[in-house]
Amino acid sequence: MASLGLSIDERKAVERFRKNVVDPSMESLVILDFWAEWCGPCKALTPVLEKVAAEYADKGVLLAKVNVDEEQFIAAQFQVRSIPTVYAVFQGQPVADLTSARGESQLKAMLDQLLKQLPVKAGGPGAPDVEPLLAMGEEVLEGGDGERAAGIFAQIVDMVPDNAAAHAGLVRALLALGAVEEAEAALAAVPEEAAKDAAVERARSALALAKDAPEAGELAALRAAAEAAPADMDAQLAYANAAFGAGERDTAAAVLLRMIAADRAWNEGAARAKLLQIFEAIGLEDPWVAGQRRKLSTILFG
């Protein structure tokens, strides 16, 4: 896809496409999915594409997705007139239209045929490249679909049992579904070598916080107790724990920051320790965490 005479935005689009699709397709077979958020059939097809791509990863198959609303120039180059539109791309060129393969068996049959005809570089005897699948799982989880994310991470765990990021993602996806017991079992199943990984530690923190989720009506009672006794640190901490467990992270952070401002040394710095645990569970790179850390710094050093 030539970039001569293109605008800056169009050149950036071409570069993204080259990085995400063309370069990987030099050795792998890329399933290229054109989709959009508002497209119901696209969302119905996505789990099929993800499942098959995961199963065929060791055969050299990758999945790349192009949002037609965000990448209109790329969609126009492929003359996409309706979605979902799905192509197989090899060495930078479309080699098959997979759009008609709406079922898992149909898609596998078409891929099997292509893999017989093309010199696709299959995964070697070592671990397959699961980075694209991990990125996909994180994107799906961030989008709020815990069930799909859990399925993706579980497939990666099956493919690469010692992958710490996949285990951690599975635990967090299960927590997003409210399946605390299943998340606890998934965490217990993490291999010893991976259990010390930072991603798994983050998942462990998230699980510990999830266990603080209040029963029905409990949060309101803890809120009332905290409001009635603003100087009662135990009541404030109990309310902050329950608020975060109930998904009210802004409230939890606000309560903990007030506690730190009032008495940072209380109970050997328990409020600060709880806030840092929340940061670890969410991820230090998260924008929300960055904002709360600035507030904490202002209290501690301002």
Write the burial class of residue 120 (CB in 10 Å: 0-12 exposed, 13-18 middle, 19+ buried).
buried
Residue pair 269/282 in contact by the 8 Å Cβ criterion:
no
Q: Which of 22, 42, 83, 259 is catalytic?
A: 42
String of DSSP letters for 24-39: GGGTSEEEEEEE-TT-
Give the chain's length: 302
Catalytic residue status for 187: no
Q: Which two tokens stand for residue 75?
A: 């969609």
Q: Which of 13, 14, 31, 39 is catalytic?
A: 39
C-alpha distances out from residue 289 to 9, 132, 227, 245, 282, Å? 31, 25, 25, 16, 7
For 49, other C-beta atoms within 10 Å of its C-beta total: 22
Catalytic residue status for 39: yes
**Closest C-alpha among 197, 60, 71, 57 to residue 115:** 60
Angle between helices 233-245 and 270-282 (to 10 degrees): 10
C-alpha distances out from residue 202 to 65, 101, 277, Å? 28, 39, 9
Q: Give the catalytic positions in this structure.
A: 39, 42
